[in-house]
Amino acid sequence: MGDWSSLGKMLVMMGLFIFFLGLILLGLGKLLSIGRLPGDIYYQKGNFTFYFPIVTCIIISLLLTLILNLFNR
């Protein structure tokens, strides 16, 4: 039974980490207004809107790659 207890604690800790990371990202999103960068595709005609944040995705990918490479070394 000890294994299930440690697994439960680990899942709770991971859940709390993801929760707080989400709060941080929501706060940063409002402060930095990331998601409306030049190069993001935005098309609106009538009641149809298409939005694809390609430049935002590339920047987030580069930042995450740099951060993860720092932790892996």
- Domain positions in the chain: 1-33, 35-73
Note the pLDDT of residue 46: 93
The residues pairing with 51 across neighbouring beta strands, listed in sequence order, are 42
Complete DSSP assignment for 22-53: HHHHHHHHHHH-TT--TT-EEEEETTEEEEE-
Whether the pTM exceeds 0.85: the reply is no
What's the chain's average pLDDT? 85
Predicted confidence band at 26 (pLDDT cuts at 50, 70, 90)? Answer: confident
